[in-house]
Amino acid sequence: MEVAKPIQHNQLVALEKDIKKERRQLAVKRFFSNKTVLAGSIMLIFLTLFAFIGPLISQFTPLQIDPANRLAKPSAEHWFGTDNFGRDLFSRVAHGAQVSMGVGLSVAVLTAVIGMVIGLYAAYYSALDHILMRISDALMAFPDILLAIAIMAVLGPQPVNVVIAVTLAKIPVVARIVRSSALVIKEQTYIEAMRAQGASSWRIIWRHILPNTVSPLIVQVTYVFAIAIILEAALSFLGAGVPAPDPSWGNILYDGKIVIYNAWWMTVFPGAFIVMAVLALNLFGDGLRDLLDPHSNKALKE
């Protein structure tokens, strides 16, 4: 009689490795077959490279004034032309990319962390929920740019304050997203079972509820990143954001508006980068939503 051979441990390990590899390949395949997320990623990579390599390949610094060469058209020397002080626009837009995208990224990370904590605890403790959600209702009643303007007016125009102002305006949105998915998870039987076994609330919230709220959080934060770039540009354009002479996409547009009759390039180039960054993030977010949750928004797909 033939006896079934016991499975060796190393066979199991190999099998597990294979499965992991297959899963990874599948994830990569799904990523590359999702054109939206792919297009968004390529644009984001390009922008990141531009922000870091742009300043290196430019022969000019963003603050170098050349009064003889004011408002020069784009040329072989000045790729994007020069501004009203004769500063090289390519160099300014590239440095501005670091500032604008840096502000956007900081806002995205901060709102994600703070919004997550608020959303999770609001969902878990219903007494806290009432208070926190009324506060977020109140904050959401202010149009985001006005809230940011008011905070900037009080704190003063500084890049750090732009981050604070925009973060404050956007935390309620993120907190609500996390809260609503956490509320669903909280009612599941396995959470009830954990509680019955005497798991601490800390463990339930961070080990069991949190992982289930991550996908909607990441998607929402991508959009917040995009909105933060728009808000930074708007604030700086209004003179309440990143102060001169440091470049940001918004304050280059502000300078450009004064000379719009003479220098189209000062509006078109920074403008194109703002649109590209926001479009990239919106595409990335939309694609990610479909990747992470195949059930969501079927109607939007073909």
Partner 1 sequence: MKAYILKRLLSMIPVLLIVAIFVFFLIHMIPGDPAAVMLGPEATPEEVESLKEELGLNLPIYQQFFEWSLHALQGDLGNSLYMNQPVLDAFTSHLGPTLSLALLAQGVSIFLAIPIGVLAARKRGTGIDRTFMIIAMLGMSIPSFLLALLLMLVFGVQLNWLPVAGYTSLSEGLWEHLKYLILPAISLGTIQAAVIARMTRSSMIDILSMNFIKTAKAKGLKQKVVIYKHAFRNALIPILTILGETFGALITGAVVTETVFNLPGIGQLVINAITRRDYAVIQGTILLIAVTYLFLNLIIDLLYGLVDPRVRLNRK
Interaction site with partner 1 (CB under 8 A): 134-135, 137-139, 141-147, 149-156, 226, 230, 233-234, 237-240, 253, 256-257, 260-261, 264, 267-268, 271, 274-275, 278-279, 282-283, 286, 297, 299-300, 302
Alpha carbon separation from 268 to 55, 100, 235, 272 (Å, rounded): 19, 16, 18, 6
Considering the complex, what minimum distance in angstroms separates the CB of residue 151 from partner 1? 8
170 within 8 A of 111, measured Cβ to Cβ? yes
Token reading at 215: 């996908």
Q: What is the DSSP letter of 243?
A: P
Give the distance, in angstroms, between the CA of residue 51 and the centroid of all CA atoms in the same chain. 16
The nearer residue to partner 1, 53 or 275, going by C-beta atoms, is 275
Token reading at 55: 């300043």
3-class DSSP state of 7:
coil
Considering the complex, what minimum distance in angstroms separates the CB of residue 199 from partner 1? 33
The nearer residue to partner 1, 115 or 157, going by C-beta atoms, is 157
Considering the complex, what minimum distance in angstroms separates the CB of residue 10 from partner 1? 50
Considering the complex, what minimum distance in angstroms separates the CB of residue 215 from partner 1? 20
The nearer residue to partner 1, 155 or 199, going by C-beta atoms, is 155
The nearer residue to partner 1, 63 or 268, going by C-beta atoms, is 268
Nearest to 218 by CA among 117, 289, 280, 163: 289
The nearer residue to partner 1, 214 or 238, going by C-beta atoms, is 238
The nearer residue to partner 1, 4 or 141, going by C-beta atoms, is 141
Considering the complex, what minimum distance in angstroms separates the CB of residue 9 from partner 1? 51
Considering the complex, what minimum distance in angstroms separates the CB of residue 225 from partner 1? 12
Q: What is the DSSP letter of 58?
A: -
Terminal CA-to-CA distance of the chain, rounded, Å?
A: 58
What b/e readout covers 76-111, taking b as 16+ CB neighbours within 10 angstroms? eebbbbbbebbbbbbbbbbbbbbbbbebbebbbebb
